[in-house]
Amino acid sequence: MADFSRVLAGPYATMLLADLGAEVVKVESPAGDDTRSWQPPVRDGVSTYYLGINRNKRSIALDLKDADDAAAARELARRADVVVENFKPGGLARFGLDYDSVSAGNPGVLYASISGFGSGPEGASLPGYDLIVQAISGLMSLTGDPEGEPYRAGISVFDVMAGLHATIGVLSALNRRHETGRGQHIEVNLLSSALSGLVNHSSAYVAGGVVPFRMGNSHPSLFPYEPLPCADGDLIITAGNNGQFRKLVEVLGVPELADDPRFARNEDRTANRDELRPLLVDRLRTRTKMQWFRDIIGAGVPCGPINTVDQGVDFATEVGLDPVVTVGEGRAAVPSVRNPIRFSETPADYRLPPPGLDEHGAVLRDWLAAPVAGAGQTREGTA
């Protein structure tokens, strides 16, 4: 796999595919991926942002404005099973690295392009940054206090979604190629991923004509489904159906609420949340959040404390998810977050720590200089 992507969406997709067995060559400019300089925080002087999305790859630094380096990049693309890029639409054409050029010499290639707003004439020129898409898509209008300012999500949520969509697209196209032998162009853009990822909110408008609005931590269609205050802090409680609500109020010692006509059904609880909330809070304030957490979870009602990231990792460890893996050995070893997909037969493999810039450049240049018969015609022996 030839990875011409930078920053987050593309590198995240290619890392996931590398975990699942793809041999990924990360092509960087001589200055390196932007995320190498996105610091702090750092580990041994290297950006943890970069480390988090680039394991299991080999790095080669190529200046596409240099004739020899551009030729090496084209040869890499000619030999690749999959090409992933997130340049502005059309940006690679001048180097002979766009889909039409690559597929002419490699007709079986699966070529995945990730952009901000698609490749059409209206969106191709627009720069695609996650924060911009959070704003344009409407997500920020839904995030934050109802009386306050719109807020961005705490992570680059649409970069991650687009990376996942690109991964799904590559795997689907790979399966199709097994059936037909034909490659294809796969296009993903952040705005489409955002509108898909807004799920019930985008559907509220598209299917119902309703424009959603900011509700803080409340849910427009469910209650309780938010933080509720206990004696020492908030506990998230999510009673998603009538059975869970009945179990909740039994644990809280107010079972009669389940039969109160104001609260008997979810739509009733949602409509009358301002009446129900203080009744639940009166009970919750009598004990600590962790005391209630144990009892409410024990009754089969979803709930959880609001953790910091370190506490979230610790909790995943406590429940047996083994969230941290070590990639590499000795001083080069890097702790990394485990691939979230579990396989019974073909588990994710953590072979290589995130590469230094051009760490494998010499070996890869030698490989690209050696002739390979049938590149682009067979899927044997390609990257």
Active site residues: 159
Q: How many whole angstroms separate alpha carbon 184 and alpha carbon 50?
A: 29
Report the alpha-carbon distance of residue 243 to residue 164 in Å, rounded.
Answer: 34
Q: How many CB atoms lie within 10 A of CB 98?
A: 21
What are the phi and psi torsion angles at 187 (to 5°)? -120, 130
Helices (H), the chain: 9-19, 48-51, 67-79, 99-105, 130-137, 139-142, 157-180, 190-197, 199-208, 242-252, 266-271, 273-284, 289-298, 309-318, 361-369
Q: Match 């999500």 to its residue by tokens.
A: 153
Q: Confirm if 236 and 223 have CB atoms less than 8 A apart.
A: no
The packing angle between helices 157-180 and 190-197, to 10°, is: 100
